Chains A and B, each alone.
Chain A
Amino acid sequence: MARQDSNREAPVTRRRGARRTAVVLAVIAGIIYAAFIGRGVFGG
């Protein structure tokens, strides 16, 4: 079976949509991380 470096391009619109989804999710993860450390810093 022939193999290749496989970063096959998905249609541009779908790649843009995927990047946008990824950025939003990464920001949410960052906010949750900061919120829980904030709970530790400012919590009673």
Chain B
Amino acid sequence: MTTQTAHADDHHHEAPKGLARWLFTTNHKEIGSLYLIFSLAMFLVGGAMAMIIRAELFSPGLQLVNPEFFNQMTTMHALVMIFGAVMPAFVGLANWMVPMMIGAPDMALPRMNNWSFWILPFAFLMLLSTLFMPSGAPASGWTLYPPLSLQGGNSFAFVIFAIHLMGISSIMGAINIIATILNMRAPGMTLLRMPLFVWTWLITAFLLIAVMPVLAGAVTMLLTDRFFDTSFFNAAGGGDPVMYQHIFWFFGHPEVYIMILPAFGIISEIIPTFSRKPLFGYTAMVYATASIAFLSFIVWAHHMFTVGMPLGASLFFMYATMIIAVPTGIKVFNWVSTMWRGSMTFETPMLFAIAFVILFTIGGLSGVMLAIVPADFQYHDTYFVVAHFHYVLVTGAVFAIMAAAYYWLPKWTGHMYDERLGKIHFWWSTISVNVLFFPQHYLGLAGMPRRIPDYAVQFAEFNMISSIGGFAFGLAQLLFVYIVIKCVRGGEKATAQVWEGARGLEWTVPSPAPLHTFDTPPLVDDSLEHKDRLPS
């Protein structure tokens, strides 16, 4: 795709300086940077909690922390990583890249964009402050199932309020992204000419608007049950605790796709660039993304097979879940087909993208295993589930975020990152993450339950191996932080196109991207759509 006008400019006006600049900014690039920095900080906080968990599980018996604190760690690790690290990282990437990819000067609603971000630090301060309260942080798992979650202390009110704030932030961010994509595209940028990352974010934003209010509704009812004597989920008062599980997972399963669809978009940008070929099956990729989003609404009860439900319902949710493998398989085959006979090179973003395709598929396959009702009765609430969703979320979502960071860092900073260190980070992370999570499949199949601080001695060896992998993976991420800081501070100058095979509007502006881009909308040329990616 080429442009007839790739306009970028700087205007010289009085600018707020220091803290005020960041507090009051309405610029999509600055807000994108804020989201990404926040996400990295939360990734380190959530990672520190993971280190505590793996240190405790290094050997059987109670070693370092008491069981109550261990449960707080598993709960907070999940909440921080999901709502603080992965989701804000994708929103940050969307803020930076979506306007540039569609030729818009900024997000459609810049002041709301500022609000969307600045709510988040307060939400997480509130959430993390519960660790220092007398009744402690939530310890019932991130799902906050009643009646267990209602047995905590008064700090629970802070948790609920924090979740509400995160939800408001996500909904405002999603509204902004949809409004931007539907109203701000450059002339000639038709829907089916948009980059896949924009498409996946458009669909993700609709998912967010559909399900974040469901989570808000569920936790509001928890709040009134805990503090205002209602009985939504209290069986003694005529309520139904299972209803909470249905409502929570009606949010929770689409939430899983909220965390993976933008990752699909990132991989669909990176693989064509480093294969020097157009994406294979672009339209099929769009429809597959929409299909996955639709299916995500009708599979929620596969998280609760062991709760018990009519046989017909079990069968429906089992088969509906398995059907998701079809559009997901389309994507995996299309990525492989894009690489097939491409002129491939293996820079760090491409390495992370290829690792994503392989390792996410492992997570997908264990997902199909979990969808089988009778098998799930065996696997439910074991470490097999922990292994499954960490393959999807760490080697899936987090690896895609790493790939995106390496891919777009030169565009953001104007400098190339250190490729040698990037490759070391990749191999260190990829080897250690498999040492960390692969043994957990076996632990689960052998019967080790999740969310326990102590375990039977027959699980000792695999837990020790997993913990060693965990420490190594954690250490590797400190190298990532160093690489990012080094790249921001200097390095080889990046060109506008950065990567030889890169195509799209974002690569037509200089590196680093000026604060304002596309003040004059570019004209997207119809005639060269995709053709310029064909290998010469």
Contact = CB atoms under 8 A, between A and B. Distances in A.
B213 A4 contact: no
Interface in A11-44: 14-15, 17-19, 21-22, 25-26, 28-30, 32-37, 39-40, 43
B341 interface: no
A6 B27 CA distance: 5
Interface string B202-243: 000000011011101110110000000000100000000001
A7 B26 contact: yes
Given A18-B109, A22-B109, A32 B213 contact: yes
Contact of B232 (A8, A30, A35, A40): A40
B323 to A, nearest CB: 25
A22 B179 contact: yes
A37 B105 contact: no
A7 B25 CA distance: 8
Interface residues of A, number: 30
B16 interface: yes
Contacts of A14: 108, 183-184
Contacts of A5: 13-16, 24-26
A3 B176 CA distance: 23
A16 to B, nearest CB: 9
B434 to A, nearest CB: 39
B221 A22 contact: no
B526 interface: no
Given A22-B109, A43-B243, A6 B213 contact: no
Given A4-B515, A29-B212, A37-B221, A21 B10 contact: no
A29 B213 CA distance: 6
Contact of B516 (A8, A22, A29, A36): A8
B519 interface: yes
Interface centre among B106, B183, B247 (most CB of A within 10 A): B183
Given A22-B112, A29-B171, A39-B247, A3 B21 contact: yes
A7 B108 CA distance: 10
B110 interface: yes
Given A10-B106, A32-B214, A21 B179 contact: yes
Contacts of A8: 105-106, 516, 519
Interface centre among B12, B104, B213 (most CB of A within 10 A): B213
Given A1-B515, A3-B21, A37-B220, A21 B182 contact: yes
Nearest to A23: B175
A10 to B, nearest CB: 6
Interface string B112-125: 10000000000000
A44 B235 CA distance: 12
Nearest to A39: B247
B111 interface: yes
B514 interface: yes
Given A4-B15, A10-B108, A22-B112, A36 B184 contact: no
Contacts of A22: 108-109, 112, 175-176, 179
Nearest to A9: B105
Nearest to B206: A25
Contacts of B16: 5
A22 B210 CA distance: 14
Nearest to B205: A25
Contacts of B210: 32
A26 B170 CA distance: 12
Interface string B506-526: 000000101110010000000
B10 A2 contact: yes
Contacts of A2: 10-13, 15, 515
B189 interface: no
Given A4-B15, A5-B13, A33-B216, A18 B179 contact: yes
B178 interface: yes
B180 interface: yes
10 contacts: A5-B13, A6-B30, A7-B110, A8-B106, A8-B519, A21-B183, A22-B108, A33-B213, A36-B213, A39-B217
Given A36-B247, A40-B243, 9 more contacts: A2-B15, A4-B15, A6-B515, A10-B104, A10-B184, A14-B108, A21-B175, A30-B213, A32-B210
